[in-house]
Amino acid sequence: IAMSRRNLLLLSNSKNHDSVYLSHVRQLLPNFFGSSVKTVTFVPYALPDCDSYTSYVRDAFAEMGINVKGVHEGNALENIKQAEAIYIGGGNTFLLLKNLYEQKLVEEIRKRVLTDGIPYMGSSAGSNVATVAINTTNDMPIVFPPTFDALQLVPFHINPHYIDPNPDSTHMGESRVDRINEYHEVADTPVLGIREGGFVKVEGNKMTLLGNSARLFRKGKDAVECAKDSDLSYLLTE
Least distance between Ca ion and beta carbon 46 (Å): 7
Beta bridge partners of 15: 21
Binding mask 41-80 for its own copies (x = CB under 8 A): -------x--------------------------------
How far apart CA 81 and CA 105 sit, in angstroms, is 10
Please check whether residue 47 is in contact with residue 96, taking contact to mean a CB–CB distance below 8 angstroms.
no
Q: Applying CB under 8 A, which of residues 139, 193, 212, 216 lies at the interface with its own copies?
A: 139
Listed ranges 51-59, 63-71, 79-87, 140-148: which one lies at the site for its own copies (CB under 8 A):
140-148
Alpha helices in the chain (DSSP H): 29-33, 50-62, 76-82, 93-102, 106-110, 125-128, 176-186
* 35 contributes a contact to its own copies by CB under 8 A: no
Contact call for residue 82 and its own copies (CB under 8 A): no
Site for Ca ion in 135-174 (CB under 5 A): 139
Q: Is 161 a catalytic residue?
A: yes
Among 23, 39, 67, 138, binds its own copies (CB under 8 A): 138
Catalytic residue list contains 124: yes
Q: Does residue 123 bind its own copies (CB under 8 A)?
A: no
> Of the listed 12, 14, 72, 139, which one is catalytic?
139
Which sign does the torsion angle of CA 109, 110, 111, 114 carry? positive
Q: Give the torsion sign (CA, 203, 207, 210, 216).
A: positive
Catalytic residue selected from 23, 149, 161, 230: 161
Q: How far apart are the first and last CA of the chain?
A: 17
Q: Of all helices (H) and strands (E), which one includes residue 178? A: helix 176-186
What is the amino acid identity at position 33? F
Least CB distance to its own copies at residue 130 (A):
17
Q: CB-based burial of residue 44 (10 Å sphere; 0-12 exposed, 13-18 middle, 19+ buried)?
A: buried
Contact pick of 7, 13, 103, 131 for its own copies (by CB under 8 A): 13
| Residue 231 to residue 26: CA distance in whole angstroms | 22
Q: Which residues bind its own copies (CB under 8 A)?
A: 13, 15-17, 48, 91-92, 94-95, 134-144, 147-148, 160-161, 163, 170-174, 179-180, 182-183, 185-187, 196
**Annotated active-site positions, please?**
124, 139, 161
